[in-house]
Amino acid sequence: MAHYQNGTLEKVTRKDGVERWRFRWLDPITRGARSKIIGTVEEWPENSKKLMNELAAIRLDINSESPNKTTAILMSTLITHYKKHELLLNSDGTLADGDASSKEYSTRDRYISYLNKWIEPRWGDYDLEDIKTVAVEEWLKTLKISDEAKASNGTKAKIRNIMSALYSHAIRWEFTDRNPIAGVTRGSGVRQSAKRAREPEVMEIEEMQKLVAALSVRERAAFSLGMSDGLRRSEIQGLKWGDIDFENHQINVVRGNVDQRISHGKTEASRRAVPLDPYTAADLHAWHEVTPYKEDSNWVFASDASRAGEKRGKQSLWLSKLMEYHIQPAAKRLGITKTVTWKILRTTYSTLLKANGEDVKVVQELLRHASAKTTMDVYTKALTPQKRAAQNKLVSMIRQQPTTASVSSTYRVEDIARIASA
């Protein structure tokens, strides 16, 4: 039987003259000597909490084949271990590229934010076995995002779910055999509602019509993709010209782009093609005519700012900035009091589809949500003509203009007619 080992820590100096920490231990299988450089002495001071947590996480790894139940494991140690193995966090604090089996970059980044801001400061010094269900539940009730404002139910529910994921990770690695967050049976774990305190904002049709007419060609094309197709911000930012199939009137959503990190969609459902209506096609055609980056391999919204330097044209625009600096100011000038965001466009898209009486399955597939009902997900599909008719009906309602003159001031009528009849 293998024995629990602590390994040894020593300072070493490489050719660059920087003093670093080296951890040495015996391989539990081959019994050969192993070592790992884990950071500089300057960045990881001796006896610092950061260094101690990293050492504890490494020890969990090398002793995982011979778990020692008598060794207390702190929540902070588990968090470090979880960040390394599940969130793919490097020792320098950067996120490694994921693969098909890992969480998306944006999800991992958000998890780390919640761990650092909420969970570790409160529970980091507790042994896993000492954290109790009711104590976590009572703590969640007290959370505030400021002196005046309480944390939302959604925020508290996410914290609860991440804590449960931490314990699931610990159970998988045999660090513990209990999950006080999930509980032994349904309803026995931490109870925290995710119900919204208020309904999300939805734009009126007249507001969208005015805003579309006021936007310049680039902003209008991006806005149309969110308004008429319900694309997520990361999906719009991840579009390349080769993804837009004008001939078959559809957009192939094959990637996302978050902080210039490429992902391949949140779920299988999110990677489905979406219909391309004539109005949005005309907006994209107009943008394609003036952008200097027209190749299939180019981003639809490539950065053309001189400050981008060598990355000019090679990386996508930051659509959060496009919204902040161009679309939101235009909405404010028009007297629109709602906070226009990419998320509100997707919420409005969903709300109006439902209000139009569209079939629930058609709406679900247009939004590319993964249904909770496996039968509906796997075996029930909305026909493409149904999806196209539903989407075109909504877009026509938003984009139709009272006169030919007002249409031509925003779009070329001949382009719309050509695309619609193709």
CA dist 112 → 119, 145, 372 (Å): 10, 17, 26
pLDDT at 219: 97
Please give the helix or strand (H or E) that residue 239 lies within, else none. none
DSSP one-letter string for 136-179: HHHHHHH-BSSSS-BPPHHHHHHHHHHHHHHHHHHHHTTS-S--
pLDDT at 159: 96
Q: Note whether 27 and 39 are same-domain residues.
A: yes
CA dist 268 → 117, 254, 271, 322, 365 (Å): 31, 10, 5, 28, 11
Predicted confidence (pLDDT) per residue in 227-266, tens digit: 998 899 999 999 999 999 999 999 999 888 888 888 776 5
DSSP 96: P
The CATH code of the domain that includes 30 is: 3.30.160
Number of folded domains in the chain?
3
Choice among 17-26, 74-83, 120-129 with the minimum mean pLDDT: 17-26
Name the residue among 398, 393, 401, 327 with its Cα closest to residue 366: 393
DSSP 293: -
Q: List all residues 6 or more positions away from 397 whose beta carbon is below 8 Å from its beta carbon.
A: 205, 352, 356
Q: Which domain holds residue 380?
A: 205-421
Q: Note whether 64 and 6 are same-domain residues.
A: yes
- Look at residue 67 and tell me whether its pLDDT is greater than 80: no
Q: Note whether 139 and 239 are same-domain residues.
A: no
Q: Note whether 299 and 357 are same-domain residues.
A: yes
Pairing of strands 261-263, 274-275: unpaired
DSSP one-letter string for 330-391: HHHHTT--S---HHHHHHHHHHHHHHTT--HHHHHHHHTPPPS-HHHHHH----HHHHHHHH
Q: Note whether 183 and 312 are same-domain residues.
A: no
Predicted confidence (pLDDT) per residue in 146-193, tens digit: 888 889 898 999 999 999 999 999 999 888 989 999 998 888 999 998
Token digits of residue 23: 């951890």
Q: Note whether 273 and 362 are same-domain residues.
A: yes
Q: Note whether 60 and 78 are same-domain residues.
A: no
pLDDT at 69: 47
CA dist., res. 204 & res. 410, Å (int): 20
Q: Note whether 384 and 367 are same-domain residues.
A: yes
Binned at pLDDT 50, 70 and 90, residue 294 comes out as: very high
State the pTM of this model.
0.66
Backbone φ and ψ for 254, nearest 5 degrees, come out as -115, -10
pLDDT at 301: 96
Q: Note whether 142 and 5 are same-domain residues.
A: no
Domain termination site, one of 32, 54, 71: 71
Q: Note whether 77 and 64 are same-domain residues.
A: no
Domain termination site, one of 71, 104, 124: 71
Predicted confidence (pLDDT) per residue in 15-52, tens digit: 888 888 888 888 765 667 888 888 888 888 888 888 88
CA dist 70 → 26, 67, 104 (Å): 21, 9, 36
Q: Which long-range contacts (CB under 8 A, 24 or more apart) does 156-161 make?
A: 156/192, 157/192, 157/193, 157/194, 158/114, 159/114, 159/118, 159/119, 160/136, 160/190, 160/192
